[in-house]
């Protein structure tokens, strides 16, 4: 699967009910992680060289819950097709994000979580933006 397809499935699994702005925000988190070249960046082998990969950043173990096999979204993102209008929107967002056609309104966020949970990693951190049901954070 391509970077666009994997990013679109990640957006769909993480934010399909959050409207365009919420879906774009998740795309920015992935792109910001990809560009950061840090521990949360995924790498793929290309011609014997490891290079940062948008898809591998999405698929990196335990980074985006929709790719965890025990997550309820796992099979939804695996089976969704372009017959789903929201997934088609996710594909457009993914394509635009990878092409650099979208402006990052998250301020460089690389983490987020649903407002309904309080993960340990977010303790004592201040969100840089709130969008829909998610809180977004920059790396400190």
The Cα 40–Cα 111 span in angstroms is 10
DSSP 3-state assignment of 98? helix
In tens, the pLDDT along 66-76 reads: 999 999 999 99
CB 6 within 8 A of CB 80: no
Residue 12 confidence (pLDDT) above 80: yes
In tens, the pLDDT along 23-41 reads: 999 999 999 999 999 989 9
In tens, the pLDDT along 37-92 reads: 998 999 998 889 999 999 999 999 999 999 999 999 999 999 999 999 999 999 99
The Cα 83–Cα 123 span in angstroms is 40
Q: How far is CA 86 from CA 17, 31, 102, 138, in A?
A: 9, 20, 18, 27
Q: What is the mean pLDDT of residues 1-27?
A: 97
pTM of this structure: 0.94
CB 114 within 8 A of CB 22: no
Residue 136 confidence (pLDDT) above 80: yes
């Amino acid at each position: 699967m391509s970077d666009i397809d994997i990013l679109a499935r990640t957006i769909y699994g993480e934010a399909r009910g959050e409207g365009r702005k919420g879906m774009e925000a998740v795309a920015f988190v992935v792109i910001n992680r990809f560009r950061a070249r840090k521990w949360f960046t995924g790498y793929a082998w290309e011609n014997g060289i490891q290079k940062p990969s948008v898809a591998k950043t999405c698929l990196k173990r335990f980074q985006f819950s929709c790719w965890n096999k025990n997550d309820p979204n796992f099979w939804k993102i695996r089976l969704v097709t372009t017959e789903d209008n929201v997934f088609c929107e996710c594909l457009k967002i993914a394509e635009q994000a990878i092409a650099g056609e979208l402006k990052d309104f998250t301020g460089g966020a690389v983490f987020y979580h649903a407002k309904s949970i309080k993960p340990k990693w977010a303790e004592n951190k201040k969100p840089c933006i709130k969008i829909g049901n998610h809180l977004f954070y920059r790396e400190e």
